[in-house]
Structure 1
């Protein structure tokens, strides 16, 4: 079964009296990215948001409580032209597996026409589980002059991909799948919006 809507849910063991064990796969949500609004003949580029962490675990039914809580993290919100993207939410299955969300992309490059860079966003550390991994880092942003630059790509996740890195004026770029970070927006004199990160997901495989 898949829990792929954002929010809090319950897994009830009594609904599956034949259950011997479950394998849970938990993906945290990705970070959002900021938009940009550069002055005429100037440029602003934004980094991408980080991808969410991932964890999985095989659990004997006897170790499950009667009801286990399931949390699906929301993708980080799209930042405005002057505010960073929001952090992605953590996803979890009870206390057995926790997968952290990725941080949002910053909005700390000022409008200008001289070369400058903006740091990428570190990916989150691994959470918990029999096997767990952190999310991918959001790519850094570069301005070469008032016309040429590169927005940062969104961080990869175990179950999704980050938004692409853009080199022309436009909004933040959307991730694919689950848990990817959004790509950063880029402005060469126009107002461009940010982009939300990818939502998390929890998959529960049932074995009799």
Structure 2
């Protein structure tokens, strides 16, 4: 009868004589993506072979403010901030039986001359937390003269082994009653902010996940802001 030798680092022979892979040596086996804003549950018992997880969390971006200038006047709005990003590799033994997973919702758009809302934080238990970006401000009043509006600072880094704050929303400038430039939205690790605009219109939409909305611009009409980009939590499961 022929004999075969196998590497004990990767294989074992069970009591039934079957050749089996050792737990923790199988590499990436499954990807779980939480993309819907709200609270979810990661249940460890659903993956009995689990050895460790690699988690990315992207916080949501802020929404931009609305603008409603008086007739023959101008209002420009800055962009909203992008959300932060965090990542960790976590051993299965460190996980609880169930870990709460939170996906942040993009900040609400402002209406009239009201600011945009802040984006929500995204998280995986207490291991990985990525803060959301602040909404765009509505500080500038209607006018015709030269004016500049500061941008919106990005959120600080959150919790994790590898962490990054979100991108700041860009400032805006008014040159006259008929010329202005709104601010672009802040970047995120997994998304892009809305573009800056020189024509009258609502705030501009971000792309991807966690970007801040671009600012609105009014030359006398009432225009709304734009919602920020939703966050996301990505869990890679290794066996």
Common topology (TM > 0.5)? yes
Matching residue within 120, 127, 152 for 2:158: 127
Matching residue within 151, 154, 164 for 2:195: 164
| 1:189 positional shift | 1.2
SS state at 2:45 partner: helix
Residue 176 of structure 1 pairs with residue 207 of structure 2: yes
| 1:123 positional shift | 0.1
Q: 2-side partners of 1:207 and 1:58: how far apart? A: 10
When Rg is computed on C-alpha atoms for both structures, the one with the higher figure is 2
Deviations 1:44-65 (A, max 9, x none): 0001100000000000001100
SS state at 1:47 partner: coil
Residue 2 of structure 1 pairs with residue 44 of structure 2: no
- TM-score, with normalisation over the residues of structure 2? 0.86
| 1:100 positional shift | 0.2
- Alignment correspondent of 1:202: 233
Count of aligned pairs: 208
Large movers: runs of 4+ above 2 Å: none
- Alignment correspondent of 2:111: 80
SS state at 2:93 partner: helix
Q: 1-side partners of 2:67 and 2:80: how far apart? A: 14
- TM-score, with normalisation over the residues of structure 1? 0.99
- Alignment correspondent of 1:26: 57
Matching residue within 54, 74, 79 for 1:48: 79
Deviations 1:123-173 (A, max 9, x none): 000001110000000011110000100100000000000000001100000
Q: 2-side partners of 1:195 and 1:149: how far apart? A: 18
Unaligned runs of 5+ in 2: 1-31
Q: 1-side partners of 2:139 and 2:112: how far apart? A: 10
Unaligned runs of 5+ in 1: none
Matching residue within 155, 159, 184 for 1:153: 184
